[in-house]
Amino acid sequence: MMQNISRNTSKLLWRNAGIKNYATEATFEVNRPYKLHRLDSGPSTTVSVTRDEALDMYRKMQSIRRLETSAGNLYKEKIVRGFCHLYSGQEAVAVGMKASMREQDNIISAYRVHGWTHLMGVSVAGVLSELTGKKGGCARGKGGSMHMYSKNFYGGNGIVGAQVPLGAGVAFACKYKNNGGVCLSLYGDGASNQGQVFEAYNMAYLWKLPCIFICENNGYGMGTSAERSSSNTEYYKRGDVLPGLWIDGMDVLAVKEGTRFAIDYVLKNGPIVIEAATYRYSGHSMSDPGTSYRSRDEIQEVRQKRDPITSFKERMLETGLATEADIKKIDSEVKKEVDAATALAKSDTEIPVSELTCDIYSMNQEGDVHGLTPDKKLKHTTLKTAVNL
Amino acid sequence: MSLIAALSPIRRVLGVTFVRQSRNVSHFTYQPDDKAPIEGEKQKMNMFTAINNAMDMALAKDDSTLLFGEDVAFGGVFRCSLNLKNKYGGDRVFNTPLCEQGIAGFAIGVAAMNVKAIAEIQFADYIFPAFDQIVNEAAKYRYRSGNTFDCGSLTIRAPCGAVGHGALYHSQSPEAYFAHTPGLKIVVPRGPNKAKGLLLACINDKNPCLVLEPKTLYRSAIEDVPLGYFESPLGQADILRVGGDVTLIGWGTQVHVLRETAEYAKRKLNVNCEVIDLVSILPWDVETVCNSVKKTGRCIIAHEAPVTNGFGAEIAATVQEECFLHLEAPIQRVCGWDTPFPHVFEPFYLPDKYRCLEAIKKVIDY
Domain membership of residue B304 (yes or no) is yes
**Chain B residue whose CA is closest to A369:** B338
Taking CB atoms and an 8 Å limit, are A372 and B126 in contact across chains? Answer: no
- CB contact under 8 Å between A353 and B102, yes or no, is no
In this structure, what DSSP letter does residue B26 have? -
User: Chain A partners of B71 at a C-beta cutoff of 8 Å?
Assistant: 222-224
Cβ neighbors of A45 (< 8 A, separation 6 or more) are: A29, A30, A33, A34
Which pLDDT score is estimated for A212? 98
B6 touches A: beta carbon within 8 Å: no
CATH architecture of A32-347: 3-Layer(aba) Sandwich (3.40)
Name the residue ranges covered by the structural domains of chain A.
32-347, 353-389
Closest in B16, B164, B308 to A376, CB measured: B16
pLDDT digits (tens, 9 = 90+) for A259-318: 999 999 999 999 999 999 999 999 999 989 999 899 999 999 999 999 999 999 999 999
Residue-wise pLDDT tens digits, B201-220: 999 999 999 999 999 999 99
Q: Are residues B117 and B261 in the same domain?
A: no
Residues B347, B211 share a domain:
no
Q: Is B60 on the interface with A (CB under 8 A)?
A: no
Provide the 10 A C-beta neighbour count for residue B43: 13
Which ipTM value was assigned to this complex?
0.73
Q: Looking at B179, B196, B226, which one is the last position of a domain?
A: B226
Q: What's residue B23's pLDDT? A: 55
Other CB atoms within a 10 A radius of the CB of residue B33 amount to 17
Q: Is B346 on the interface with A (CB under 8 A)?
A: no
Check whether residue B57 and residue B181 sit in a common domain.
yes
Chain B positions in Cβ-Cβ contact with residue A373 (cut-off 8 Å) = 332-334, 355, 358-359, 362
Chain B: give the shortest CA distance to residue A85, in Å: 14
Do B47 and B80 fall within a single domain? yes
Note whether residue B195 is domain-resident: yes
Percent of chain A having pLDDT more than 70?
A: 92
Whether A59 has a pLDDT exceeding 60, the answer reads yes
> Chain A closest CA to B316's CA: distance in Å?
13
Write b or e for each residue in B318-347: b if 16 or more Cβ atoms lie within 10 A of its Cβ, otherwise e: ebeebbeeebebebbbbbbbbbbbbbbbbb
For residue range B73-128, list pLDDT tens digits in order.
999 999 999 999 999 999 999 999 999 999 999 999 999 999 999 999 999 999 99
pLDDT digits (tens, 9 = 90+) for A225-246: 999 999 999 999 999 999 999 9
Q: Give the C-alpha separation, A102 to B261, whole Å.
A: 58
* DSSP track, B117-135: EEEE-SSGGG-GGGHHIII
Tell if the CB–CB gap between B337 and A161 is shorter than 8 Å. no
DSSP string, B272-297: -EEEEE--EEES--HHHHHHHHHHHS
Q: Which of B98, B170, B337 sits opposite A372 (nearest CB)?
A: B337
Average pLDDT value over all residues in chain A: 90
**Active-site annotation of B, residues:** 100, 170
Q: What is the average per-residue pLDDT within A21-31?
A: 86
Task: With a cut of 50, say whether residue B7 has pLDDT above it.
Answer: no
For residue range B161-196, what is the model confidence (pLDDT) as tens digits? 999 989 899 999 999 999 999 999 999 999 999 999
Sequence-separated contacts (24+) of B23-26 with Cβ below 8 Å: B23/A81, B23/B164, B23/B347, B26/B164, B26/B216, B26/B220
Q: Classify residue A294 as exposed, middle or buried by CB count within 10 Å of its CB (0-12, 13-18, 19+).
A: middle
Residues B329, B249: one domain? Answer: yes
Q: What is the CATH number of the domain that holds B96?
A: 3.40.50.970
- Contacts with B166 from chain A: Cβ below 8 Å: 82
Residue B282: CB atoms within 10 A of its CB come to 23
Q: What mean pLDDT do residues A178-189 have?
A: 96
Kindly state the average pLDDT of the residues B15-44: 79
Co-location of B247 and B134 in the same domain: no
The pLDDT of residue B22 is above 60: no
Q: How far apart are CA B5 and CA B20, in angstroms?
A: 12
Phi, psi (deg, nearest 5) at residue A102: -105, 175
Decide if B33 is inside a domain. no
Half-sphere exposure of B230 (CA within 13 A, CB side): 20
Who's near B147: CB < 8 A, 6+ residues apart? none
Chain B residues with CB under 8 Å of A372 CB are 307, 334-337, 351, 355
Query: At which of B183, B207, B226 does a domain end?
Result: B226
- C-beta neighbour count of B359 within 10 angstroms: 26
CATH number assigned to the domain comprising residue B253: 3.40.50.920
**Residue B279 belongs to domain spanning:** 3-26+236-365
Give the closest-approach CA distance of A44 to chain B in angstroms: 35
Alpha-carbon distance of A299 to A279, in angstroms, equals: 9
Q: pLDDT category, A389, cuts 50, 70, 90?
A: low
Which B positions 302-321 lie with beta carbon below 8 A of chain A?
307-308
Query: Closest-CA residue in chain A for B130?
Result: A195
Are B270 and B146 in the same domain?
no
CB contact under 8 A, B344 and A350: yes
Closest CA to A94 of A110, A81, A83: A110
Tell me the shortest Cα–Cα distance from A186 to chain B, in angstroms: 16
For an interface test with A, give the residue of B8, B12, B16, B172 to mutate (most A CBs within 10 A). B16
Average pLDDT, chain B: 93
Dist. CA A222–CA B313, nearest whole Å? 38
SS3 string of chain A? CCCCCCHHHHHHHHHCCCCCCCCCEEEEECCCCCEEECCCCCCCCEEEEEHHHHHHHHHHHHHHHHHHHHHHHHHHCCCCCCCCCCCCCCHHHHHHHHHHCCCCCEEECCCCCHHHHHHCCCCHHHHHHHHCCCCCCCCCCCCCCCCCCECCECCCCCCCCCHHHHHHHHHHHHHHHCCCCCEEEEEECCHHHCHHHHHHHHHHHHCCCCEEEEEEECCEECCEEHHHHCCCCCHHHCCCCCCEEEEECCCHHHHHHHHHHHHHHHHHHCCEEEEEECCCCCCCCCCCCCCCCCCHHHHHHHHHHCCHHHHHHHHHHHHCCCCHHHHHHHHHHHHHHHHHHHHHHHHCCCCCHHHHHECCCCCCCCCCECCCCCCCCECCECCCCCCCC
Sign of the C-alpha dihedral computed for residues B79, B84, B85 and B90 taken in this order:
negative
A193 and B337: CB-CB below 8 Å? no
d(CA B176, CA B173): 8
Q: Do B344 and A378 touch (CB under 8 A)?
A: no
Could you report the per-residue pLDDT of B224-246, keeping only the tens digit for each? 999 999 999 999 999 999 999 99
Distance CA A98, CA A230 (A): 28
**A358: which strand partners?**
A381
Q: Would you call A161 and B98 a contact, using CB atoms and an 8 Å cutoff? A: yes
Domain count, chain B: 2
Residues A158, B168: C-beta atoms closer than 8 Å: yes
Q: Are A246 and A215 in contact (CB under 8 A)?
A: no
**A21-57 exposure pattern, b = at least 16 Cβ within 10 A, e = fewer:** eebeebbbbbbbebbbbebeebbeeebebebeebbeb
- CA-CA distance, A177 to A166, in Å (whole number)? 16
| Cβ-defined contact of A160 to B98 (cutoff 8 Å) | yes
Kindly state whether B169 is in contact with chain A, defined as any CB-CB distance less than 8 angstroms.
yes
Are A149 and A362 in contact by the 8 Å Cβ rule? The answer is no
Asked if residue B262 has pLDDT above 50, the reply is yes
Residues of A in contact with B164 (CB under 8 A): 81
Tell whether B193 and B46 lie within a shared domain: yes
In this structure, is residue B86 part of a structural domain?
yes
Interface of B with A in 88-117 (CB under 8 A): 95, 97-99, 101-102
* pLDDT reading at A1 higher than 80: no
Where does the pLDDT of residue A14 fall: very low under 50, low under 70, confident under 90, or very high at 90 and above?
A: very low
Distance of CA B264 to the CA centre of its chain: 23
Interchain proximity A229–B336, CB inside 8 Å: no
- Per the CB < 8 Å rule, is B166 touching A370? no
- Peptide bond just before A43 cis, omega within 30 deg: no
Tell me which H or E stretch contains B194.
helix B192-204
Do the Cβ atoms of B97 and A230 come within 8 Å? yes
CB pairs under 8 A between A and B: 120
In the chain, the amino acid numbered A112 is R
Within-domain flag for B31: no
Q: Kindly report the number of other CB atoms within 10 A of residue A324's CB atom.
A: 10
Residue B30 in 3-state DSSP?
Answer: coil
Do B274 and B216 belong to one domain? no
Across the interface, of A82, A229, A378, the residue whose CB is closest to B97 is A229
pLDDT of residue A285: 93
- B366 at the A interface (CB within 8 A)? no
Do B132 and B281 belong together in one domain? Answer: no
Comparing B195 with B343, the larger pLDDT belongs to B195
Closest CA to B189 of B168, B204, B210: B210
DSSP-derived secondary structure letter, B168: G
Q: What is the pLDDT of residues A351-373, one digit of tens each?
A: 887 777 777 777 777 777 766 66
Q: Are B63 and B103 found together in one domain?
A: yes
Shortest Cα distance from A234 to chain B (angstroms)? 16
Confirm whether B302 is domain-assigned. Answer: yes
Comparing alpha-carbon positions, the chain A residue that sits nearest to B353 is A372
Of B14, B102, B128, the CB nearest to A195: B102
Q: Which residues of A touch B169 (CB under 8 A)?
A: 146, 158-159
| Neighboring chain A residues of B338 at a CB cutoff of 8 Å | 360, 369-371
Q: Residue B128 falls within a domain, yes or no?
A: yes
**Cβ-based burial of B146 (10 A; exposed 0-12, middle 13-18, buried ≥19):** exposed
**Could B333 and A374 be called an inter-chain contact, meaning their C-beta atoms sit closer than 8 Å?**
yes
Query: Which of A171, A168, A189, A268 shows the shortest CA–CA distance to A236?
Result: A189
Taking CB atoms and an 8 Å limit, are A372 and B307 in contact across chains?
yes
Considering the domain architecture, whether residues B64 and B208 belong to the same structural domain is answered as yes
Quick one: average pLDDT of A316-324?
93
